[in-house]
């Protein structure tokens, strides 16, 4: 089950379409959908989580807590809408594209994809792009 929660003045345009897209991306990698919660928030909200749980005193666009068991994908994904907007402007892409990239980025981590090394970053970006191609924005 995919759930969307809002801690800021923002709402996805089509939760059902987004949920189905996430499920398709998960199943494409031969994983199953467990319980995934998205929490859309602002910088202040996410910064507090970053400091409290990760001891990082920085702003970020996403923090995910992974509860995946084997092939059953699950977790809580916190996304700062403010960071996504600023990153979209910086990377010269639409807000929607950047938002969906971040949405699927957390899921890809749950399925074992990493982004620490250059090689891992390339594979992660390839997987993100592959998923984005299946979403009709």
pLDDT of residue 36: 98
For β-strands 62-66 and 72-80, DSSP reports them as antiparallel
Provide the number of structural domains found in the chain.
1
Domain around 29: 2-133
For 73, other C-beta atoms within 10 Å of its C-beta total 26
Mean pLDDT of the chain: 96
Q: d(Cα 59, Cα 79) in Å, to the nearest integer?
A: 11
Mean pLDDT calculated for residue range 54-59: 92
pTM above 0.75, yes or no: yes
User: What mean pLDDT do residues 84-108 have?
Assistant: 97
Residue 137 has pLDDT above 60, yes or no: no
* pLDDT over 80 (residue 54): yes
- Residue 42: give its domain's CATH number: 3.40.390.30
What tens digit of pLDDT does each residue of 116-128 get?
Answer: 999 999 999 999 9
Q: Contact at 8 Å (CB) between 132 and 100?
A: yes
Distance of alpha carbon 21 from alpha carbon 57, whole angstroms: 33
What is the Cα–Cα distance from 9 to 1, expressed in whole angstroms? 23
Alpha helices in the chain (DSSP H): 15-28, 43-54, 81-91, 95-110, 118-133
| Contact yes or no for 24/134 (Cβ under 8 A) | yes
């Amino acid at each position: 089950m995919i759930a969307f929660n809002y801690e800021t003045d923002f709402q996805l345009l089509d939760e059902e379409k987004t949920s189905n897209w996430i499920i398709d991306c998960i199943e494409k990698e031969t994983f199953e959908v467990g319980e995934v919660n998205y929490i859309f928030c602002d910088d202040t909200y996410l910064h507090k989580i970053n400091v409290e749980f990760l001891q990082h005193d920085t702003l970020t666009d996403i923090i995910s807590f992974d509860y995946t068991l084997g092939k059953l994908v699950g977790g809580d994904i916190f996304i700062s809408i403010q960071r996504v907007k600023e990153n979209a402007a910086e990377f010269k892409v639409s807000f929607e594209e950047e938002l969906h990239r971040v949405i699927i980025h957390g899921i890809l981590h749950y399925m074992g994809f990493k982004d620490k090394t250059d090689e891992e970053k390339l594979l992660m970006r390839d997987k993100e792009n592959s998923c984005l191609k299946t979403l009709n924005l």
